[in-house]
Amino acid sequence: FTINVASSGGNATSGKQYGFLHEDINNSGDGGIYAELIRNRAFQYSDAYPLSLDGWRPVGNAKLNTSRLDEPLSDALPVSVNVSPRKSNCTPRRGAAGNGNIGLLNEGWWGMAVEEKTYTGSFWVYGGYEGVFTAELRSDLEEDVVFGSVEIESEAQEGKWVEHTFELVPESNAPNSNNTFALTFDPAGLTDDSLNFNLISLFPPTYKNRKNGLRVDIAEALAQLHPSMLRFPGGNMLEGETNKTYWDWKDTLGPLKDRPGFPGVWGYQQTHGLGLVEYLEWAQDMDLDIVIGVWAGLALNGDITPKDELQPFIDDALNQIEFIRGPADSTWGSVRASLGHPDPWPLHYVEVGNEDWLAGGDAGWESYQEYRFPMFMKAIREAYPDITVISSGATSDGYDIPAPGIGDYHPYREPDALVEEFDMFDNQPIGHIIGEVAATHPNGGIGWDGDLMPFPWWIGSVGEAVSLIGYERNADRIPATCYAPVLRSMDRWQWAVTLVQFAADPKLTTRSTSWYVWELFAAHPMTHTLPAEGELDPLFYVSGTNEDKQSFIWKAAVYNTTDHADVPVSLSFEGVEPGTKATLTVLTNIEGDPYAYNDPHEGNNIVGSTVTTVEAGDDGAFEFELPELSVALLDTAQE
Ligand code: AHR
């Protein structure tokens, strides 16, 4: 392959090509990147997920019941747990620690890591009690092994909800994540028959020390990808199962006691702990641009909000935008300011709905094209002419997207299919984001009739690399490409193929094969693409420059599934002198098997990375070979 790259004639890029979608799927929010350690902390429920004491067990001679007091903690959290002493002839339960205390313990999100760090906790209690509460992190395997404990002076009062806060610093690291959090009290101090507790919360230190923030190891695995774009809050989560149960941004604001939670769409009740402000703080802390999805009045069950009832939802979207980027003295900007954020957040991309070629069936999609998207776009553009409004479907979904809107394309594909679509956007006049993309199914043509792969796998990741190159060649019209979904709990998931896997134990946090590919490309942003002459297939490439670094960049993938030969490359950049040095990074599969993957339980990494310095020869060309099924990056920047 002889490739000659011109020094001009390309297009400016957004420089923000690589990012991810986040929605709460796979317990990626609650029990995932949202650092709360307590599961079912506020006994939230819905028609879909009934009230339960899931995650909780009694300690000592305690009896636990869910309870609806006449005076609830808040309208949003009407149910609490009642803790009362059992009759004295009962055998004390394990965990009574011999001190006669009673209470409750939480199993966490299928375990709880315990480290010598400062944990921040709080709980609300209703009822009279004189004495101390004891908060403990303890082993669930070995009786009486307590890693850390703190006593909290009771301020509880009869007939009143009182919040208690505490810090807990374990004296040692737990050897594994089979641990629990216990909250107990001495029943002799009760001046009521029992106590009610609600919103029992415990956080480890969080990413960038945000209150109500992100789990450090998971956030770091994402930050180390060098992302520049966050699309949220979904995905299907935004749409909701019905027109009454979508992700309503207003329910996610303010004190946790005012957040009702909602059923989500992925098989579990969600807390709303990771709310709009937390997403925006996340973007701020990782320096990400954002694409926010606003609810379009269509739900997954086919509910359609008709045209004559749509205006309140358009107004709601405008309010949401004002909350994010309006001045601090505007109606919703002042709400933001009251929550500790007087400065607006930047917002340049707003997407109307999600995959609305699916939601609401044919009638929904017709309504989307006929009036829904045009009405939202008109209102948003009138108020914010600089915002790019994104349709939740693509031109390839049959939508002739009206200007100045752009589309959203979601290819979940076999790797061969991603490669076949390499040039799909080459002559496409309408801009798109790639709001969700991943290789999900093995080659073979069965696609969605078969299961997803168990993890991202090497040939899938190389297929993704080819599609990323295709998108980046059109980066003037594709301002962002997002992997989805991005996180997966190994304890409960609905979608196996994600960039990062995790469990309660941070040692299991695992970067997938695709993570390494995306990281390599994202770490080398181009400010301009540059036209290249040369053959394509099985070598696919995009070339460009980073004007800030005065460097030339070349991203490539070799996708050869039948011919296993190495690919010789002769690469010249117009204006690059003989003797110029460049760094060439090549990712390969060290196991050889194209179906190999990184498995958290194996702790393996099948991605090999070779970094060499190459030098332009007398003719100004860099000469090298790339192995079969490999991903490569050449950059002339001198670090
Ligand atoms: O990423 C998982 C799901 O795939 C998203 O929720 C949806 O938008 C898509 O169909």
In a domain, residue 246? The reply is yes
Does 397 contact ligand 1 (Cβ within 6 A)?
A: no
In a domain, residue 231? The reply is yes
H/E element, 570: strand 567-573
Does 24 contact ligand 1 (Cβ within 6 A)?
A: no
In a domain, residue 284? The reply is yes
Judge whether residue 190 has pLDDT over 80. yes
| Cα(476)–Cα(428) distance, integer angstroms | 11
Ligand 1 centroid–CA 264 distance in Å is 13
**Structure confidence at residue 94 (pLDDT):** 46
Does 411 contact ligand 1 (Cβ within 6 A)?
A: no
Answer for the pair 433, 478: CB distance below 8 angstroms, yes or no. Answer: yes
The H-assigned helical ranges of 414-555 are 415-420, 458-473, 513-522
121: CATH: 2.60.120.260
Does 485 contact ligand 1 (Cβ within 6 A)?
A: yes
How far is the CA of 141 from the CAs of 54, 95, 505, in angstroms? 19, 11, 15
Query: Which of 24, 412, 483, 514 has the most ligand 1 atoms within 8 A of CB, as the residue to mutate?
Result: 412
Confidence of residue 88 (pLDDT cuts 50, 70, 90): low
Kindly report, residue by residue over 253-273, the tens digit of the pLDDT: 999 999 999 999 999 999 999
Query: Which of the listed residues 522, 557, 575 is the one where a domain comes to its end?
Result: 522
Instruction: Give the number of other CB atoms < 10 A from CB of residue 550.
Output: 10
Judge whether residue 524 has pLDDT over 80. yes
Confidence of residue 360 (pLDDT cuts 50, 70, 90): confident
In a domain, residue 208? The reply is no
**b/e per residue 448-473 (b: at least 16 CB within 10 A):** eeeebbebbbbbbbbbbbbbbbbbbb
Answer for the pair 150, 182: CB distance below 8 angstroms, yes or no. Answer: no
Query: Which of 354, 392, 498, 514 has the most ligand 1 atoms within 8 A of CB, as the residue to mutate?
Result: 354
424: CATH: 3.20.20.80
Return mean pLDDT, the chain: 96
Quote the domain boundaries for residue 373: 18-34+215-522
616: CATH: 2.60.40.1180
Give mean pLDDT, residues 460-485. Answer: 97
Judge whether residue 468 has pLDDT over 80. yes
One domain for residues 229 and 189? no
Percent of the residues in the chain that have a pLDDT greater than 70, as a whole number: 98
Judge whether residue 92 has pLDDT over 60. no
Confidence of residue 15 (pLDDT cuts 50, 70, 90): confident
Answer for the pair 636, 581: CB distance below 8 angstroms, yes or no. Answer: yes
Q: Enter the ipTM.
A: 0.99
In a domain, residue 42? The reply is no
Query: Which of 20, 21, 239 has the most ligand 1 atoms within 8 A of CB, as the residue to mutate?
Result: 21
Q: Which atom of ligand 1 is nearest to the CA of 234?
A: 6
**Structure confidence at residue 213 (pLDDT):** 98
Q: Whose CA is nearest to atom 4 of ligand 1?
A: 235
Q: Any idea which residue has 């760094």 for tokens?
A: 583
Ligand 1 centroid–CA 516 distance in Å is 22
The H-assigned helical ranges of 355-444 are 361-367, 373-383, 415-420
Does 484 contact ligand 1 (Cβ within 6 A)?
A: yes
**Structure confidence at residue 95 (pLDDT):** 47
Confidence of residue 90 (pLDDT cuts 50, 70, 90): low
Answer for the pair 207, 213: CB distance below 8 angstroms, yes or no. Answer: yes
**Structure confidence at residue 565 (pLDDT):** 85
Judge whether residue 562 has pLDDT over 90. no
In a domain, residue 44? The reply is no
One domain for residues 366 and 445? yes
Q: Which atom of ligand 1 is nearest to the CA of 237?
A: 6
Cα of 435 vs its chain's centroid, Å: 13
Q: Whose CA is nearest to atom 8 of ligand 1?
A: 235
Q: Residue 621 has what DSSP assignment?
A: E
Q: Residue 392 has what DSSP assignment?
A: S
The H-assigned helical ranges of 384-529 are 415-420, 458-473, 513-522
Judge whether residue 480 has pLDDT over 80. yes
One domain for residues 290 and 423? yes
Q: Which atom of ligand 1 is nearest to the CA of 484?
A: 1
One domain for residues 168 and 313? no
Total of domains in the chain: 3
Does 234 contact ligand 1 (Cβ within 6 A)?
A: yes
Q: Whose CA is nearest to atom 7 of ligand 1?
A: 235
Kindly report, residue by residue over 611-622, the tens digit of the pLDDT: 999 999 999 999
Give mean pLDDT, residues 199-224. Answer: 98
| Cα(307)–Cα(83) distance, integer angstroms | 50
Answer for the pair 215, 34: CB distance below 8 angstroms, yes or no. Answer: yes
One domain for residues 179 and 271? no
Judge whether residue 97 has pLDDT over 70. no
Query: Which of the listed residues 147, 168, 203 is the one where a domain comes to its end?
Result: 203
One domain for residues 192 and 80? yes
Kindly report, residue by residue over 387-407, the tens digit of the pLDDT: 999 999 999 999 999 999 999
Query: Which of the listed residues 489, 522, 555 is the one where a domain comes to its end?
Result: 522
Confidence of residue 564 (pLDDT cuts 50, 70, 90): confident
| Cα(339)–Cα(333) distance, integer angstroms | 10
Q: Which atom of ligand 1 is nearest to the CA of 435?
A: 8
Judge whether residue 534 has pLDDT over 70. yes
**Structure confidence at residue 98 (pLDDT):** 59
In a domain, residue 210? The reply is no
**Structure confidence at residue 421 (pLDDT):** 97
One domain for residues 267 and 348? yes
Confidence of residue 89 (pLDDT cuts 50, 70, 90): low
| Cα(153)–Cα(151) distance, integer angstroms | 7
Give mean pLDDT, residues 365-374. Answer: 97
One domain for residues 286 and 269? yes
Q: Any idea which residue has 């060290």 for tokens?
A: 590
**Cβ contacts of 364-371, under 8 Å, gap ≥ 24:** 364/298, 364/302, 364/304, 365/393, 365/397, 367/298, 367/304, 367/306, 367/307, 368/296, 368/298, 368/392, 368/393, 368/399, 369/399, 369/400, 371/307, 371/310
Judge whether residue 456 has pLDDT over 70. yes
One domain for residues 155 and 96? yes
**Structure confidence at residue 191 (pLDDT):** 95
pTM of the model: 0.97
Ligand 1 centroid–CA 543 distance in Å is 31
3-state secondary structure of 192: coil
In a domain, residue 124? The reply is yes
Judge whether residue 302 has pLDDT over 90. yes
One domain for residues 468 and 606? no
Judge whether residue 142 has pLDDT over 90. yes
Kindly report, residue by residue over 584-630, the tens digit of the pLDDT: 999 999 999 999 999 999 999 999 999 999 999 999 999 999 999 99
Percent of the residues in the chain that have a pLDDT greater than 90, as a whole number: 95
One domain for residues 369 and 481? yes
Q: How many residues does the chain have?
A: 639
One domain for residues 175 and 252? no
